[in-house]
Structure 1
Amino acid sequence: MDFLRVELRRIAASILLSVMPRPRIAPSECCSILGLFDALGAHQTEWSVGSVVPKNMETSLKFIRQLCALALVMAAMLPVASNAQAFPDRPVRIVLPYPPGGGPDNVMRIVGERLSKMWGQPVIVDNRPGGNGWIGINTVKLAPPDGYTLLMVDAALFCLQPHLYQNLPYDPFKDFVAIAPVFSTNYFMVVKADSPWKSVKDLLVAAKAEDGHMTYGSSGVGSQYHLGGAMLESMTGVKMTHVPYKDTMQIFTDIIGGRIDWSFATASTANALYQAKKLKFLAIAAPHRYPTYPDVPTVMESGGPNMELRTWVGIFAPAGTAKEAADRLSSDFQKVMAEPEIQQKLNTVGLTSWSGSATDLRSALTQDYNTYGAIQNKVKIKIQ
Structure 2
Amino acid sequence: MFKTKTLAAFSLGILVVAPTAGFAAYPDHQVSIVVPYPPGGTTDLLARLVAMKLTDKLGQTFIVENKPGAGGQIGSAAVARSKPDGYTLLMGTINTHGINEAMYKNLSYRTVEDFSPVIVVAETPNVMIANKNAPFKTFKEFLDYAKKHPGSVSFGSTSLGGSPHMAGELLKATTGIDMVHVPYQGGGPMLNDVIGGQIPVGFDNLPSSAGHINAGSLRALAVTSKERWPSFPEVPTMAESGVPGYELSAWFGLLAPAGTPDDIVKKLNVTIAAALKDPEVNNKLAAMGAQPVDNTPKQFAARIKAEVARWIDVVGKNEITQR
TM-score interval w.r.t. the shorter chain? over 0.9
Q: CA deviation at 1:250?
A: 1.5
For 1:176, the equivalent position in structure 2 comes to: 115
The answer on 1:241 being equivalent to 2:180 is yes
Name the SS for the 2:199 alignment partner: coil
Residues 166, 156 of structure 1: CA spacing in aligned structure 2 closer, same or farther, 3 A cutoff? same
The answer on 1:297 being equivalent to 2:233 is no
Larger Rg: 1
For 1:282, the equivalent position in structure 2 comes to: 221
Q: CA deviation at 1:301?
A: 2.5
For 1:219, the equivalent position in structure 2 comes to: 158
Q: CA deviation at 1:132?
A: 1.4
For 2:189, the equivalent position in structure 1 comes to: 250
Q: Which moved more, 1:238-247 or 1:298-307?
A: 298-307
One-letter amino acid of the structure 1 residue matched with residue 241 of structure 2: S
Q: Matches of residues 1-384 of structure 1 in structure 2 within 5 Å? A: 71=10, 74-75=13-14, 78-383=17-322
One-letter amino acid of the structure 2 residue matched with residue 145 of structure 1: P
Find the aligned partners of 2:186 and 2:112 in 1 and give their Cα distance.
27
Residues 77, 283 of structure 1: CA spacing in aligned structure 2 closer, same or farther, 3 A cutoff? closer
One-letter amino acid of the structure 1 residue matched with residue 202 of structure 2: S
Q: CA deviation at 1:269?
A: 0.4
Find the aligned partners of 1:199 and 1:305 in 2 and give their Cα distance.
17
Q: CA deviation at 1:95?
A: 0.6
Name the SS for the 1:286 alignment partner: coil
For 1:20, the equivalent position in structure 2 comes to: none
Do the aligned residues in 1 keep the contact of 2:131 with 2:194 (CA within 8 Å)? yes
* Deviations 1:271-324, CA, capped at 9 Å, x for gaps: 121122110101111221112112111113223343111011111111111122
Name the SS for the 2:148 alignment partner: helix
Normalising by structure 1, report the TM-score: 0.79
Q: CA deviation at 1:73?
A: 6.0
One-letter amino acid of the structure 2 residue matched with residue 304 of structure 1: V
Root mean square deviation of aligned Cα = 2.1
Q: What is the percentage of aligned positions where both structures have the same residue?
A: 32
Unaligned regions of 5+ residues in structure 1, if any?
Answer: 1-61
Name the SS for the 2:82 alignment partner: coil
Find the aligned partners of 1:68 and 1:357 in 2 and give their Cα distance.
39
Find the aligned partners of 2:189 and 2:209 in 1 and give their Cα distance.
11
Do the aligned residues in 1 keep the contact of 2:276 with 2:292 (CA within 8 Å)? yes
For 1:26, the equivalent position in structure 2 comes to: none
* Deviations 1:37-89, CA, capped at 9 Å, x for gaps: xxxxxxxxxxxxxxxxxxxxxxxxx9999878855663466432222221111
Unaligned regions of 5+ residues in structure 2, if any?
Answer: none
One-letter amino acid of the structure 1 residue matched with residue 37 of structure 2: Y
Normalising by structure 2, report the TM-score: 0.93
Name the SS for the 2:252 alignment partner: strand
Name the SS for the 2:22 alignment partner: helix
Find the aligned partners of 1:76 and 1:279 in 2 and give their Cα distance.
60
Name the SS for the 1:348 alignment partner: helix
